Amino acid sequence: MTDYDYDLFVIGIGSGGTRAARVAAAHGARVAAAEEYRVGGTCVIRGCVPKKLLVYGAHFAEDLMDARRFGWDVPADCKFDWKTLTGNVFEEVDRISKAYNTTLDSHKVEVINERAELTGPNSIRLASGREVTSKYILIATGARPHIPTCPGHEFGITSNEAFHLESVPKRILIAGAGYIANEFAGIFHEFGAKVTLINRSDQILRGYDEQIRDRLLQISMMKGIDFRFNAKFEGIEKQADGSLKVSMSNHAPIEVDCVMFATGRVPNTENLGLDAAGVELTEKGAIRVDEDNRSSVPSIFAVGDVTDRIQLTPVAIREGQAFADTIFGNKPTRVDYHCVPAAVFSHPQMAGVGLTESQAKQKYGSVKVYVSDFRPMKNVLAGRNERALYKMICDGETNKILGIHMIGPEAAEILQAAAVAVKAGLTKDAFDQTVALHPTMAEELVLMK
Ligand code: NDP
């Protein structure tokens, strides 16, 4: 391997890139990794981590209100300070980013804080002009928010900028109805903003179980979040008073203080020299890879959102690990994409694993659906009229569990354990045989009829 400067050169130090670099180095490879912005990538710097901390912060709005029913004297003028929260969140983000750097250092990965571009199948040019060669190259450059091309789109922000707002906008319009839209709708609503969510189609969270997402829609509307469907973005006009007038199809224009686009994420494949190296892209502009994360060029691999398979951090991490183990660890490994659990950190949370009811019906014809539709004990005492809904979808003949989908407090925390059972191919009987852990919400999983 000595003909090259490195055995592995990683472009992009996010979740997938970090795991690949660290594991390859642990297997004895000489590794360098380039990052043009900050080590940690979307998840740590402007995604999962800061978002989840805002979700925690936002949920206090409900907790403080509910606390009164539990005997706490919470003053009516209880105030929230956005700058305190975001300041603390940024400190935590810095801490994790530094921890990533420390891990890479301790594995002797050379971290290069520069943009890198391919110049060929084994060569890279850094922004400083330095040219390096590597036996293998891994692209892990992630994705960025898609911004619709409409007049005035430059007045809108994306989730990247949402963390850096000076204050909570009084009125915010969020375009899109997927993960990011519903999570930020919840966050801004809890902090007191008037939230309007608009989507081009007539539904939220396409791909999730219908009944579960209907429940989120119903609860969100009950809380005061406004939804407009079949509303295609037409443009944003900045008014003299600084407010933004948003036009859309099928609905009257609306005036807000902030517009946020949450209309999907596009792979970061531009200006990377992929053409020069001969790397093929998919129709959506993602790097086309095989089951071993190998691109159309045998020395170049890609993992994570830049490949647009499943845009989730734990999936990118698995892909990075599988790549490093396969190429440098003499341990051929492929990621199993079957039964990947996912969650939406809305208020309340949604989580699911496996097939939804309609997907299961299409695939298996005969399915049994077990449901628990209940009001969590805490909500009852708090006088909070929000019901949780858990669904278990089973094969009609064998009772094998095909999917579990839920909405309710801490749904994501509860689903992770249940996902093990679905992944292991257990049947409903295994749940029936398990004694309930009382009193919990999770016990509903073993009591479903
Ligand atoms: P999603 O794919 O979840 O949702 C995109 C939304 O935007 C949909 O409502 C879609 O409408 C709409 N949309 C898509 N393209 C356009 C367009 N050209 N013009 C107008 N509207 C459009 O994307 P997000 O941006 O919310 O998130 C990106 C990805 O990041 C997610 O898919 C997920 O993988 C990941 N993510 C995961 C999180 C988690 O695990 N909790 C949190 C945040 C992000 P429709 O589908 O109805 O047609």
- Write down the pTM of the prediction: 0.97
CA 135 to mean position of chain CA atoms: 32
* Atom of ligand 1 minimally distant from the CA of 312: 34
* Atom of ligand 1 minimally distant from the CA of 313: 40
* Atom of ligand 1 minimally distant from the CA of 176: 7
Closest CA to 419 of 312, 321, 322: 312
CA distance 28 to 48: 31
Q: Is the CB of 201 under 6 A from ligand 1?
A: yes
**Strand (E) positions, 269-348?**
300-302, 342-344
Helices and strands (H, E) in the chain, number of each type: 13, 22
CA distance 209 to 196: 23
Q: Is the CB of 200 under 6 A from ligand 1?
A: yes
Indicate which residue's Cα is closest to atom 23 of ligand 1.
264
Span from the CA of 181 to the centroid of ligand 1 (angstroms): 8
Tokens of 274: 């992929």
CA distance 187 to 179: 12
Q: What angle do CA 392, 395, 399 make, to 5 degrees?
A: 80
To 10 degrees, the CA torsion angle through 71, 72, 76, 77? 180
Q: Is the CB of 6 under 6 A from ligand 1?
A: no
Q: Is the CB of 343 under 6 A from ligand 1?
A: yes
**Pairing between strand 226-228 and 194-198?**
parallel
Q: Is the CB of 109 under 6 A from ligand 1?
A: no
Write the CA distances from 377 to 62, 112, 268, 384, 440, integer angstroms: 15, 52, 45, 10, 8
Q: Are 219 and 185 in contact (CB under 8 A)?
A: no
Instruction: Say which residues have a Cβ less than 8 Å from residue 65's Cβ, sequence separation at least 6.
Output: 74, 382
Q: Is the CB of 181 under 6 A from ligand 1?
A: yes
All domains of the chain in start order, with CATH: 6-145+266-328 (3.50.50.60), 154-261 (3.50.50.60), 348-446 (3.30.390.30)
Q: Is the CB of 264 under 6 A from ligand 1?
A: yes
pLDDT of residue 119: 97
Closest CA to 258 of 244, 239, 246: 244
**Pairing between strand 171-175 and 157-158?**
unpaired
Tokens of 392: 């278990």
**Strand (E) positions, 86-193?**
110-112, 116-120, 123-126, 131-139, 143-145, 157-158, 171-175
Residues present in the chain in total: 449
Span from the CA of 338 to the centroid of ligand 1 (angstroms): 21
Q: Of the listed 164, 189, 251, 438, which one is catalytic? A: 438
Indicate which residue's Cα is closest to atom 45 of ligand 1.
201
pLDDT of residue 449: 86
| Model pLDDT for residues 179-236, shown as the tens digit of each residue | 999 999 999 999 999 999 999 999 999 999 999 999 999 999 999 999 999 999 999 9
Q: Is the CB of 176 under 6 A from ligand 1?
A: yes
* Atom of ligand 1 minimally distant from the CA of 262: 25
Low pLDDT (below 50) residues in the chain:
none
Indicate which residue's Cα is closest to atom 13 of ligand 1.
263
Instruction: Say which residues have a Cβ less than 8 Å from residue 156's Cβ, sequence separation at least 6.
Output: 147, 175, 236, 259, 260, 261
CA distance 349 to 18: 29
Cβ atoms within 10 Å, residue 148: 16
Indicate which residue's Cα is closest to atom 47 of ligand 1.
201
DSSP designation for 78 = -
pLDDT of residue 274: 97
Maximum Cα interatomic distance, the chain, rounded to a whole number of Å: 71
What is the identity of the amino acid at 47?
G
CA distance 378 to 440: 10
Q: Are 394 and 402 in contact (CB under 8 A)?
A: yes
Active site residue 438: yes
